[in-house]
Chains A and B, each alone.
Chain A
């Protein structure tokens, strides 16, 4: 027997009594067995090694995983325990399965008292709407939900809660419950509510301010009306040389005051977004003529030149808001003349584009006045701003004119631009897109005559409905001067009565009167049995701005409007027109 045989083989040979055998055939066989035993041992120890290595590796991997899981769990727990928001889990029927400590802080309920119980036990006093929504949860009808609900805490405190809920599934995609969060948004909600309330208050305050402005302007204009009227009259009644200067100053100052009141009202209206542009047929040519007449004489007085430059003849009729366009032109040209001591003011019109139906026209108001320093050019358009404080003292004005022009043009989808340098004059420019009306204009604004040249209007009879004694006094004086026959009605009711008894050529109707206001009176007069009154001209006399009352005037059957304090020239022209009409009919 070979000594280096495998231990087991040697033992087996001994036991079998074959260890003393010496057979070469058996030796060959035993060599194979021995080899197999050794190889088996080697393989076995190899496998043992694999087992050992794998065990070690699994142990350390497991340990790493455990640490990892612990670390993550710790982190998550730390987050869940310390965030402000409530994190929760419920089963499919809405019983709490997990709640983080924020729950107790929010509701006052202890977490361990809630787990296992339905959510509805702890979210109390839900609105009916909120209850319906959250009940869907316990019926398993929700996949994902995000709602703001109101609920009460244990102490009865009302809370606004932002609740997010999501259905969760296991690996086989079977729903297992809900997870979600609850955020206390009470504070934000209260701020939001306070903001809404504040805004509401502000709106009310604004409305009160508007009403106040409207009332006060009416109250201011009524006495001003008298002041202006009387100053006009005094000027007509051959005043002494020494009185002329005072009266002119009085007249100018009161007219200036009216302008200021109008500007403030207008600006307020634009600022509060209450302005609606009119779309009516008008003649730009007439607006230009009027401007030429007004500003021509103003320029003459200052010994400067004013003229209008046009590249092409204008269409007869355009469609737009003539009052506003006129206001812009008047304002800008008026400003230009005000700030120009020598040289000229030019209103230049350039037709940029024109076809059958539309016109794009550019307006330049070019002066050779004091100019505006570059650093002031941006703020010049702000309300109540003038280039410097001296300007106000020297040139007067509210500082609202440019702001109003700019805002009006913005509402018309265009812009007011400015080119200027100190001492080199100023050019204001804007363009307008206007529709062309292929027909004739309804309004004719002729050139204004001088107040002293007004002719007598004898032969026409006028009913004046006016309650204010001062106004009555002024109107009386003018009408008497123009030899007009007139009756006074102190309120609407009297006016209706008088109109039914006598055929007047013309009715001048104050809108705000006691007992019956001007609107009602006009309506009644139109409806009266006297057929003469169906088309008798009724002109409203009002301290309110024309744009404010224009619609109502038409609605109640009146034909036009004269602003108080009234311009005697405007009144005279209106009367004159009526006289010529009635004489034609006669």
Chain B
């Protein structure tokens, strides 16, 4: 059962003809009376897991909303669920330790999958993924994303059953042998211009490219849009390639520091790696989303029943009025039977495809499907 709600009042008349195992909620930061909404929901479904986060756009079916809540109530027949929540401050905001602890709390013999949602501003997504994967066997897959807040970069939040909280990482464990999980993650961005050597960086902060201040170079390419930084940085990710010539990963800007002339990214920028600026056009982004759906569909044998679409806010800023085209493209591939929900995010977590390790992505359409 899925519903998009624009106001709290719409929740009053909300009823279900089944007993849900979990209610997935993707909520706009501008939604009025968020706490009130959760309270009402808790009254109606006191024993049901409520799992979700703030967004830069709510996805439901073929549509993208702003200022609403996308609600999807799901009953799993054969799969059991368990939710865990970690406060970033408990680990001194050490994302790696947080990931490590989250896995520990969800770990069990029949654990099949972890869906992880994280604060979008105070977490190093790459480290979080490393920590999560540290002890997880290959049989456990991990997907998820970083919460968004339109494109404001002010405050993101997580919905963990009875509360709405910031600076948290939450995980939902899926247990049981009957669950079929599919996933895929594709971008559709193009690199352009010269390859530049990262001459100074620390973790996810980039200071210098080819010995020159990184911010200055970055701004020169943004042109007029430089004044809208860091929001406009979403339009201008970097592709990063290590020495090992693996598939380059895309990195999105989260913030800038004029004094330090530095840029803060959603994942690590390694010193000694090579980066190129990226650009996108509408057609190629939509193609990218379609390819991501194809990878997802090919990763399992049967039709999926439920799909989570986590797409980067940067894509939405490029697609603008055409954002729904990428959702439609995905749904066309996945088929009519699927229930689709999700959100525009500040970062996506998934393997590129089956049997590759899970990584943090930016600027991708990342899809996770379930069936049992």
Contacts and interface: CB of A to CB of B under 8 A. Distances in A.
A42 B220 CA distance: 16
Contacts of A45: 223-224
A39 B320 contact: yes
A46 B192 contact: no
A49 B221 CA distance: 7
Contact of A61 (B194, B222, B223, B321): B194
Contact of B224 (A35, A46, A58): A46
Interface in A24-72: 32, 35-36, 39, 42, 45-47, 49-50, 53-54, 57-58, 61
Contact of B321 (A32, A50, A57): A32
Contacts of B192: 50, 54
Contact of A57 (B194, B223, B225, B235): B194
Interface string A162-174: 0000000000000
B279 interface: yes
B280 to A, nearest CB: 10
A33 to B, nearest CB: 10
Contacts, number: 37
Contacts of B224: 42, 45-46, 49
Contacts of A53: 193, 220-221, 223
Given A45-B223, A46-B223, A50-B279, A36 B194 contact: no
A47 to B, nearest CB: 7
B60 to A, nearest CB: 21
Contacts of A35: 320-321
A32 B320 CA distance: 11
A49 B320 contact: no
Contacts of A46: 222-225, 235
Nearest to A48: B223
A49 B223 contact: yes
Nearest to A39: B320
A57 B193 contact: yes
Contacts of A50: 192-193, 221, 223, 277, 279
Is chain A's interface secondary structure helix, strand, loop, or mixed overall? Answer: helix
B223 A54 contact: no
A54 B321 contact: no
B175 to A, nearest CB: 46
A54 B193 contact: yes
A323 B68 CA distance: 120
A58 B192 CA distance: 11
Interface in B217-261: 220-225, 235
A57 B277 CA distance: 13
Instruction: Tell which of B193, B224, B277 has the most Cβ of chain A within 10 Å.
Output: B193
B246 to A, nearest CB: 24
Given A36-B320, A39-B320, A47 B193 contact: no
Interface string B182-211: 000000000011100000000000000000
A39 B316 CA distance: 13
A36 B322 CA distance: 10
Nearest to B226: A49
A64 B279 CA distance: 26
A57 B235 CA distance: 20
A47 B221 contact: no
Interface string B338-351: 00000000000000
A57 B221 CA distance: 11
Contacts of B194: 57-58, 61
A55 to B, nearest CB: 10
Given A54-B192, A54-B193, A61-B194, A47 B279 contact: yes
Contacts of B235: 46
A68 to B, nearest CB: 15
A53 B219 CA distance: 11
Instruction: Tell which of B194, B223, B225 has the most Cβ of chain A within 10 Å.
Output: B223
A57 B210 CA distance: 13
B126 to A, nearest CB: 27
A410 B135 CA distance: 74
Contacts of B277: 50
Contacts of A32: 321
Nearest to B223: A49
Contacts of B222: 46, 49
Contacts of B321: 32, 35-36
A36 B282 CA distance: 13
A28 to B, nearest CB: 13
A555 B265 CA distance: 101
A339 B256 CA distance: 99
Contacts of B320: 35-36, 39
Contacts of A54: 192-193
Instruction: Tell which of A32, A35, A57, A58 has the most Cβ of chain B within 10 Å.
Output: A57
A173 B100 CA distance: 49
Interface string B271-283: 0000001010000
B199 to A, nearest CB: 16
A39 B225 CA distance: 12
Contacts of A47: 279
A212 B39 CA distance: 128
Nearest to A40: B320
A518 to B, nearest CB: 89
B203 to A, nearest CB: 28
A46 B225 CA distance: 8
Nearest to B321: A36
A50 to B, nearest CB: 6
B372 to A, nearest CB: 41
B323 to A, nearest CB: 12
Contacts of A58: 193-194
A50 B279 CA distance: 9
A585 B192 CA distance: 121
A46 B224 CA distance: 7
A46 B221 CA distance: 8
A54 B195 CA distance: 12
A61 B221 CA distance: 16
B226 to A, nearest CB: 10
A452 to B, nearest CB: 104
A489 to B, nearest CB: 100
A41 to B, nearest CB: 11
B191 to A, nearest CB: 12
Contacts of A39: 320
Interface in B67-117: none
Nearest to B282: A43
Interface string B316-346: 0000110000000000000000000000000
Contacts of A49: 221-224
Instruction: Tell which of B192, B221, B277 has the most Cβ of chain A within 10 Å.
Output: B221
A248 B309 CA distance: 130
Nearest to B224: A45
Contacts of A57: 193-194
B146 to A, nearest CB: 25
A39 B223 CA distance: 15
Nearest to A51: B192
Contacts of B223: 45-46, 49-50, 53
A47 B277 CA distance: 13
A89 B160 CA distance: 75
A32 B221 CA distance: 28
A192 B204 CA distance: 67
A61 B321 CA distance: 38
A6 to B, nearest CB: 14
18 contacts: A32-B321, A35-B320, A35-B321, A36-B320, A36-B321, A42-B224, A42-B225, A46-B224, A49-B223, A50-B221, A50-B223, A50-B277, A50-B279, A53-B221, A53-B223, A54-B192, A54-B193, A57-B193
Top 10 A-B pairs, shortest CB-CB distance: A49-B223, A54-B193, A53-B221, A53-B220, A39-B320, A36-B321, A50-B221, A46-B223, A46-B225, A57-B194
Given A46-B222, A53-B193, A54-B193, 16 more contacts: A35-B320, A35-B321, A36-B321, A42-B224, A46-B224, A49-B221, A49-B224, A50-B193, A50-B221, A50-B223, A50-B277, A53-B220, A53-B221, A57-B193, A58-B194, A61-B194
